[in-house]
Amino acid sequence: MVRNIIFIFSFLGILLSQNISISVDKNTIDEGDVIQLSIEASGSSSFAKVDLSLLEQSFEILGGPYEKSSMQFINGRMNQTKTLTWTISPKKTGLIAIPGLKGIIDGKPFVGKTFNIMVNKTGESNSEQSVFILAELDKDSAYLGEQITLTYKLYKDINTNISGIEQFQMPDFNGFWVEEIFTPQRLQYQKQNVIFKGIEYQVANLGQRALFPISSEKHIIPSVKLKTQIEIKRKKNSRDPFFDPFFDSFFNKTQTKYLKSNEKFITIIPFPDPRPDNFFGAVGSFKIHSEIDQEEVVINEGFTFKISLKGTGNLGLFTLPEIKFPNGLDAFPPNDSFKKDAFRNEITGSQELEYVLVPRKEGNFKIPSVQISYFNLKTKTWSQIGTNQYTISVKGDINQVVELSGLSKKEIELIGKDIRFINTEKIISLNPGYNLSIYAYLIYLLSGILFIIPITLARFTNYRLFTADDRKMKNALKISLKILENNNRYPFENASKAIYTYMHNRFLLKNKNLDPVSVNEMLQNSIDKILLSELIDLLKICDAGKYGPNASVKEDIIISKAKNILISLNKSLK
Amino acid sequence: MKRLIIFAFFKSFSLSEPPNELFDQANKLYIQESYIESIKLYENILENNKGNSKIYYNLGNAYFRINKVGLAIWSYKNALRLNPRNKDISYNLTIAENYKVDRVTMPYTSFLLEKYRQVRMYLTADEWKLFGSLLFFALALNSLFRKMAILKNRFSSNISQVLIIFIISVHILILDKYSQEKKSYDEAIFIKKTNALSGPLSDNHQILFEVNEGSLAEILRVNDDWVYIILLDGNTGWVKSETIRFIK
């Protein structure tokens, strides 16, 4: 029980220790001054997350949040403080409320209290606005593409000293194409002072821009914001010798002040109708000039064609039109160069297009004239300018070796050649490959059948279309006669070989050695005796060979005899 | 089996009638130098029918005449795929390629690979198939003759060995050819100058490089109306699908 109570108390302690306080550094300020708004959370482990959208309705957040955390030990207990600080500036004058800020800290929501801030009017009412910024425009209304020169100027009372200005950024000019004319390196006042509303001011140029309106919904010159340090002179009435004006500068106080110029609006004047067709957006005053480096060229020899547009206006906001060169004249993509003349308040410069043209055919080529229209701001009318038209004569000189970069020899051969004529023959079939593939499949099928047929026939019908043995038996005579014809050097051996081969083939005898006796046994019953005896005699003569009686006489006739015997043997065996 | 054969024959003869009337009309328009009308007709023929190399060839000429080099190259490539040995098509293709602005240097290929490609290019896929089937038929005949002992010597067995080697290599080539043709569905020609971006949205992606018309690209991926392409020199980027035309 006691333990529980202690636990609850310690928990309460944690709860209570987490403390949020929201504060501002001052309640009454002058217009243009800033307020420090801080949210301090003690006893929390993280920074608060605050929703500032309510605050932004009436204040502008100039800086922050700046985070600061501190740690304290009191009586051995650690106390952590996390502070968030914003620099804010009121948007209006009068009594303004800082609304109750909502936020989350350590997962728990909190709501702050409301403050009232009194903002005193200065400036016009006090007629003593000592420092301010003006956005000066040379005109309030312009045509699209007409130059507007914008200068941001810092005005300063001669009695006020500015001890420093912070780096500032030029705002984004939406709806304009911006060219920089002048950007100061440091704050420098003009030599001559300017009287503005009866007061003498020193003026410093903060930057000058040439703005060219482009088509957009709104054309607003945004305000520029600048943080300055201003020295404030103390007004001392006492004639204290110590606070003599001589010492003033030692005791001057500096004050941070945010300066802001007013937004300005530009009215766009529409162009007078009718708008010319060849108007590409050029506004100002321009001159166009074209140049060609040679008028007579050899085929495949490059020459340059230059167009330059010079003048004052929105150069860079438009491009020169693409030129349609005649067929047979190859144009390489042009070199585009843009030059701007510095040190002028009006943007002046030149735009140059340089084409390299290569004639691919003989003959005369016309380079058309380039016509463009622009809106002349001096006369407020449309003006048209154009280049000259050129005629170039191209001579054919194919023999001359032409070196063109990027082309291989083969390609040069092709230059100037035309494609071949169309094929006007009738279309026989729309997809010639289709039939072919069907034939291919049929042939595959047929081949497959050819593979299978002999095997299946043998298996299922036991019938052999032809067998190798049949063929052997049939061809037995042929082979033996061939043997007889082939070799006449050893007639005896040859004749016996022919007969034995015949026997081998005719009776399908494999690896069996034959002699006259075995032949006699084999043929005893199948042929008549006269033929058999002739055959046996012949074989015997052959066995004896040239060592036998009357060998030389028999040698001559043995081959023909063997042939005759074989033929008649074959006949009688059928 | 019988049915299949009948079906195959039936199919081979039931092809639609060649649109010679339209083709003649388009050719007349071409001769009268009204190229744009002739293109419309040729494209119309191709839309309704399967391709024929003559139509693609004439279409390519018409595109070339109106300076659409990219589309001309596209047509010639299609024509050459259907009729690879036609000298006119390859000649016109080289001329059209010569008018390209981009000159992407082809990666180096060895002599053998180059020869192989030439051989592969020499016949269409179907012609190669027919050739392969004829070789197969020769092998079948050879084996039949050997079985029947009409041919039974060392020569015929050599023939069958040579044939088997040929058949295997030709069929590998056919497979390669088919896979190449399959792949060429993912090939496309640029038909206008375009910027390749780093992603398929024009607003928040950077321009990587510029491609001129006529360049060949391989399609890697398609995302709605954007395609991811790779050029021959290895550059990759996203382009709008309307700037390219697939090779059929």
Q: Chain B residue closest to A441 (CA)?
A: B133
Is the CB of residue A468 less than 8 Å away from at least one CB of chain B?
yes
Contacts of residue B62, defined as CB under 8 A and 6 or more positions apart, other chains included, come to: A422, B30, B35, B38, B39, B42
Residue whose tokens read 């941070």: A256
Predicted confidence (pLDDT) at residue A17 exceeds the cutoff of 60: no
Tell me the CB-side half-sphere exposure of residue A548, using CA atoms within 13 A. 18
Does the ipTM surpass 0.90?
no
Q: What is the mean pLDDT of residues A360-379?
A: 82
Strand, coil or helix: B56? helix
Predicted confidence (pLDDT) at residue B168 exceeds the cutoff of 90: yes
pLDDT tier at B104 (50, 70, 90 boundaries)? Answer: low
Quick one: tokens of A93?
A: 């004058």
How would you label B146-162 residue by residue, b for 16+ Cβ within 10 Å and e otherwise?
bbbbebeeeeeeebbee
Please tell me the distance from the alpha carbon of residue A469 to that of residue A255, in angstroms, as a whole number: 127
Predicted confidence (pLDDT) at residue A235 exceeds the cutoff of 70: no
Q: Chain A residue closest to B9 (CA)?
A: A438
Please tell me the distance from the alpha carbon of residue A248 to that of residue A28, in angstroms, as a whole number: 26
pLDDT tier at A401 (50, 70, 90 boundaries)? Answer: very low
**Start and end residues for every CATH 2.60.40.10 domain found in chain A:** 15-120
* CATH number of this structure's domain A287-414: 2.60.40
Q: Chain B residue closest to A330 (CA)?
A: B99
Please tell me the distance from the alpha carbon of residue A343 to that of residue A89, in angstroms, as a whole number: 38
CB-CB contact of B91 with B133 (8 Å): no
Q: How far is B164 from chain A (nearest CA, A)?
A: 14
Strand, coil or helix: A94? strand
pLDDT tier at A463 (50, 70, 90 boundaries)? Answer: low
Q: What is the mean pLDDT of residues B20-38?
A: 86
DSSP characters over A414-463: HTTPPPPPPP-SPP--S-HHHHHHHHHHHHHHHHHHHHHHHHHHHHHH--
Predicted confidence (pLDDT) at residue A490 exceeds the cutoff of 60: yes
Cα-Cα end-to-end distance for chain B? 32
Phi-psi region of A483 (alpha: psi -120 to 50; beta: other; left: phi over 0): alpha
- Best residue of A404, A412, A437, A466 to probe chain B, by most B CBs closer than 10 Å: A437
- Which residues in chain B are closer than 8 Å to A406, comparing Cβ atoms? 103
Q: Chain B residue closest to A455 (CA)?
A: B147
**pLDDT higher for A204 or A34?**
A204
Q: pLDDT tens digits for A407-427?
A: 555 555 666 677 888 877 777
Q: What is the mean pLDDT of residues A429-456?
A: 78
Task: Express as a percent the part of chain B with pLDDT over 70.
Answer: 83
Tell me which range, A229-243, A295-309, B31-45, B231-245, is most confidently predicted by mean pLDDT: B31-45
Please tell me the distance from the alpha carbon of residue A483 to that of residue B239, in angstroms, as a whole number: 80
- Best residue of B126, B173, B181 to probe chain A, by most A CBs closer than 10 Å: B126
The verdict on whether omega for the bond into residue A65 sits within 30 degrees of 0, i.e. cis, is yes
Does the beta-carbon distance from A438 to B8 stay under 8 Å? yes
Residue whose tokens read 């388009």: B26
pLDDT tier at A332 (50, 70, 90 boundaries)? Answer: confident
Q: What is the mean pLDDT of residues A18-45?
A: 76
Q: Looking at residue A14, what is its pLDDT? A: 47
* CATH number of this structure's domain B18-98: 1.25.40.10
Distance of CA A443 to the CA centre of its chain: 52
Q: What is the mean pLDDT of residues A259-272?
A: 82
Q: pLDDT tens digits for A177-194?
A: 888 888 888 777 877 788
CB-CB contact of A353 with A334 (8 Å): yes
Predicted confidence (pLDDT) at residue B227 exceeds the cutoff of 60: yes
Tell me which range, A253-257, A530-534, B10-14, is most confidently predicted by mean pLDDT: A530-534
CB-CB contact of B226 with B236 (8 Å): no
DSSP characters over B210-230: EE-TT-EEEEEEEETTEEEEE
- What is the signed CA dihedral for A435, A439, A441, A444, rounded to 10 degrees? -160
Strand, coil or helix: A539? helix
Q: Assign a CATH topology to domain B185-246.
A: SH3 type barrels. (2.30.30)
Does the beta-carbon distance from B96 to A419 stay under 8 Å? yes
Could you tell me which of A37, A41, A117, A34 has the C-alpha nearest to residue A83? Answer: A41
Q: Looking at residue A405, what is its pLDDT? A: 47
Domain spanning A15-120, CATH class: mainly beta
Q: How far is A265 from chain B (nearest CA, A)?
A: 29
Q: How far is B71 from chain A (nearest CA, A)?
A: 15
Does the beta-carbon distance from A426 to B130 stay under 8 Å? no
DSSP characters over A453-502: HHHHHHHHH---SS-HHHHHHHHHHHHHHHHHHH--SSHHHHHHHHHHHH
Q: Chain B residue closest to A442 (CA)?
A: B5
Beta strands in A91-175 (DSSP E): 94-98, 102-105, 108-111, 115-120, 131-137, 141-143, 148-157, 161-165
- Which residues in chain A are closer than 8 Å to B130, comparing Cβ atoms? 436-437, 439-440, 443
Q: Looking at residue B170, what is its pLDDT? A: 92
Contacts of residue A168, defined as CB under 8 A and 6 or more positions apart, other chains included, come to: A206, A224, A225, A226, A227
Strand, coil or helix: A111? strand
DSSP characters over B128-167: HHHHHHHHHHHHHHHHHHHHTTSS-SHHHHHHHHHHHHHH
Identify which of A429, A446, A451 has the shortest CB distance to residue B15. A429
Task: Break chain B into its structural domains and give their ranges.
Answer: 18-98, 111-183, 185-246
Predicted confidence (pLDDT) at residue A400 exceeds the cutoff of 50: no
Q: How far is A360 from chain B (nearest CA, A)?
A: 11
Q: What is the mean pLDDT of residues B190-203?
A: 78
Please tell me the distance from the alpha carbon of residue A305 to that of residue A26, in angstroms, as a whole number: 72
Predicted confidence (pLDDT) at residue A290 exceeds the cutoff of 50: yes
Q: How far is A332 from chain B (nearest CA, A)?
A: 9
Tell me which range, A234-243, A334-343, A453-462, B50-59, is most confidently predicted by mean pLDDT: B50-59
Please tell me the distance from the alpha carbon of residue A195 to that of residue A188, in angstroms, as a whole number: 18
Please tell me the distance from the alpha carbon of residue A145 to that of residue B137, in angstroms, as a whole number: 80
Please tell me the distance from the alpha carbon of residue A62 to that of residue A89, in angstroms, as a whole number: 7
Strand, coil or helix: A358? strand
The verdict on whether omega for the bond into residue A274 sits within 30 degrees of 0, i.e. cis, is yes
Please tell me the distance from the alpha carbon of residue A359 to that of residue A301, in angstroms, as a whole number: 7
Does the beta-carbon distance from A419 to B16 stay under 8 Å? no
What does pLDDT average to over chain B? 80
Instruction: Choose the weakest-confidence range: A54-63, A286-295, B73-82, B172-181.
Output: A54-63
CB-CB contact of B29 with B66 (8 Å): no
CB-CB contact of B42 with B59 (8 Å): yes
